[in-house]
Amino acid sequence: MPKFIVDGKEIEFKLGQTIIQAARDAGISIPHFCWHPSLSVSGNCRVCLVEVEKMPKLVIACSTYATEGMVVSTNSPKTLDARNSVMEFILINHPLDCPICDEAGECKLQEYAYAHGKGESRFDEIKNRKEKRVQLGPYIKFDGERCISCSRCIRFSDEIAKANQLTFVERGDKVTISTFPGESFDNPYTMNTVDICPVGALTNNDFRFKSRVWEMSSTNSVCVGCARGCNTEIWVRNNEILRLTPRQNDNVNSYWMCDNGRLNTFKFVNNNERIDGAFFRKEGALQKVEWAEAINESAKLLKEYKSSEIAFAGSAFAACEDNYLLAKLAKQLGVHNLDFASHIVTGDQDDILIREDKTPNSLGAKLVGVKSSNNGLNLDAILKSIQEGKIKALYILEDDLASLSEEWEQALGKLDLLIANAANQNRTTALADVLFGASTYAEKHGTFVNFEGRVQRIRPAVATEEMERALDGMNMSRWDKFGTKFDRWMQGTKHNSKPSWKILSQISNVLGGKTKYEMAEDVFAEIAGSVDAFKGLDYDSIGEQGAKLKIKQEVKV
C-alpha cells in the first residue's frame, strides 16, 4: 500500500482516499464539521485545513487526495493559526445558547471552540438574528441562529434518504436552511439529521429538553422495529428510556435508522400498561399471585392434557433464547404443534433500511426450532384445531394473537387453558388463564437474527425487580463484561418481570426437566452446541457488530 506522512508518522492509505479519510483510519483526528464518512464532500466549513509540504497554500483535508510521499502537518503554527481564525469566523454570529441547548455535551462546535478557538472574539457588532423553533417537518425543529451551514442535513436528505427536501436559501450572512416550496421535511429518515448536525441547529421534538446527555446512561442494543435489526444505543435516565440513536455498523445500517424505529420501539417499555408480576385467573378474574404459584400451576395444568391437545406459539418479537426454550418445553411435553405468527406489512419496505417484516427475529425463531415438525400443525392449522375443539391448551410467547383477527380472538376465548408471556396488556392477555410479566428487549440479555442471517446482541438498559434481586448474589464480573451500566439503575420505577427464557426454564424444571441456566448466556451456549447455524459462537464472539450465521441455504420464514 502507498504511504504518506502525517505529523511525522508514516501511515498507509488506499488509493482514492482523502487526507482526512486516511488519517482517520490511522487514528489521527482532524477537526471537521461538514465532512461525514457517508456523505459527499462539500468543503464549506474549512476547519479541516492542513499544511502540505511543497504546496503554496493550506488545503482542506476532506477533499485533498493523499498521494505517495506527501508530508502533511495538522498542527503546524500556520495550520493552527488558520484553524483558530476559521473558528472565530464560525462563532461570529453563533448565539450563546449552550446553557439551554440540547446539543450541549455532544456538540462539535463546543468541543472545537474549546480545543481550537482563541477564546475571544474581535467582533463587536450585533449578531445576526434568524428564525428560531422552525418546525421543518413532523419531528424536527430548526434553529437558524445556531446553524453553521455545513450542509450535512441537505446532503443526507438528497443522497441517503433520496428525498431532496432541504436546501439553502438566501446568501451571505443571511443564509439559512429551508424546505423547498410546498415541501415538508417528512421522509422516513429525517431524525438522522439530528445525529449528524454538528451543532444544536436541528433538534428532535420527542427528546427536546428532556435530559442532558451526561445525565443518561447509554447501552448498545438492536432496534426491534423490523427485520433489518439496526444497531442502536438506548439512552436511559432514572430507569426510563428517553431516546434511541443509531450505532454505526456498516454490515447492517451504516450510521442510520428510520424515524419509526427511533420513536415507536421503546415507549412501551415504561408505559402504564406493563404487566407487573404473575397472574392467575380465579373466579373469572386475573389475580396477582407469587411467581412460584403461577409457575407450579402452569406446569400442573399442562400435565392434564394430551400432547395432541396442546399447542405452543413462539414469537418473532422474542429473543432466540426465549424461543429455544419454548421449543424445548414443547419437546419435553411431546407437543408437535408449534409455530409463530408472521407480521408482514406488504409494500412497507424500501431499498434503504425498512423491511416488510416488522419483527426483529423471525429468522432466529425458525432456526432455534419454533416451527411445526412433520407431524405437527402450523399456525393456521392450530387456529382451525382450536375452533374444532381439538386443541384445548395454548401457550403464547410474547405475541398478541388476538389482534391478528377476530377469528383468533374468538378461538382463544374457546380454550380451556391459555398461558401467556407478555410485557404489556393486550387483547390476548385479557383472555389468559395464567399470565406472566415478560421482560422487554431493553431489560434482558439475548440475541436476534436479522433477515440477512446476522446474529446480534441485546442487553439490559433498564432494570427490573428480578434483575435487582439477581445482582445481590451474582458474580458481577460476568455482567461487567457486557458493558451494562448498573450505577444508573438505582433510581426510577422497576417492573416486576422476568425474561421469558427463565419462566420457561422454571416450568420445565417443575415438569421434571433438569435445566439449570443462570444467565441467558448459558442458554445461548446450549443453542451454539445444538443448532448448526450457531456453532462456534458465544456472546463474546458476537460482540458489538454481530456475527454472520453459517446458513447453508436460504431459510424461508
In the chain, where the domains are located? 3-91, 108-270, 278-457+499-548
Say if residues 272 and 255 touch (Cβ distance below 8 Å): no
* pLDDT score of 473: 56
pLDDT tens string, the chain, 557 residues long: the values are 899 999 999 999 999 999 999 999 999 999 999 999 999 999 999 999 999 999 999 999 999 999 999 999 999 999 999 999 999 999 988 998 999 999 999 999 999 998 888 777 888 888 888 999 999 999 999 999 999 999 999 999 999 999 999 999 998 889 999 999 988 999 999 999 999 999 999 999 999 999 999 999 999 999 999 999 999 999 999 999 999 999 999 999 999 999 999 999 999 998 989 999 999 999 889 999 999 999 999 999 999 999 999 999 999 999 999 999 999 999 999 999 999 999 999 999 999 999 999 999 999 999 999 987 668 899 999 999 999 999 999 999 999 999 999 999 999 999 999 999 999 999 999 999 999 999 999 999 999 999 999 999 999 999 998 777 766 655 555 555 444 455 555 567 789 999 999 999 999 999 999 888 999 999 999 999 999 999 999 999 999 999 999 886 555 55
The rounded Cα 265 to chain-centroid distance in angstroms is 9
- What backbone torsions phi and psi does residue 235 show, to the nearest 5 degrees? -105, 125
C-alpha distances in angstroms, 126 versus 87, 97, 129, 513?
18, 16, 9, 77
CATH annotation of 3-91: 3.10.20.740
3-state SS track over 335-364: CCCEEECCCECCCCCCCCCCCCECCCCHHH
278-457+499-548 carries CATH number 3.30.70.660: no
Give, in order, the Cα–Cα distances in Å from 528 to each of 375, 379, 523, 533: 26, 27, 9, 8
Instruction: State whether residue 552 is helix, strand or coil.
Output: coil
Q: CA-CA distance, 446 to 218, in Å (whole number)? A: 17
Q: Give CB contacts under 8 A, 24+ apart, made by 457-460.
A: 457/220, 457/221, 457/222, 457/539, 457/542, 457/543, 457/544, 457/546, 458/221, 458/222, 458/319, 459/219, 459/220, 459/221, 459/483, 459/484, 460/219, 460/484
Q: Are 546 and 529 in contact (CB under 8 A)?
A: no
The one-letter amino acid code at 239 reads: N
Q: Cα separation of 108 and 110, whole Å?
A: 5
* CA dist list (Å): 130 to 95, 168, 311: 10, 14, 63
The candidate with the shortest Cα–Cα distance to 138, out of 73, 187, 181, 94, is 187
Distances (CA, A) of 84 to 191, 200, 350: 31, 21, 44
**Cα(267)–Cα(442) distance, integer angstroms:** 11
Contacts of 149 (CB under 8 A, 6+ apart): 44, 168, 175, 177
pTM: predicted TM-score of the whole model, two decimal places: 0.92
Question: What was the pLDDT predicted at 553?
Answer: 55
- Grid coordinates of 461: 438498559
Nearby residues of 96 by Cβ (< 8 Å), 6 or more positions away: none
Predicted local confidence at residue 483, as pLDDT: 47
What pLDDT is stored for residue 482 in this prediction?
A: 44
Burial 395-430 (b: 16+ CB within 10 A, else e): bbbbbbbbebeeebbebbeebebbbbbbbbebebbe
Q: How many CB atoms lie within 10 A of CB 1?
A: 8
The dihedral sign for the CA sequence 352, 202, 153, 237: negative
Q: Are 287 and 334 in contact (CB under 8 A)?
A: no
Q: What is the pLDDT of residue 491?
A: 67
Instruction: List C-alpha distances in Å: 107 to 87, 146, 157, 198, 212.
Output: 14, 11, 21, 6, 12
Class of domain 108-270: alpha beta
Cell of 248: 454505526
Q: Which pLDDT belongs to residue 193? A: 97
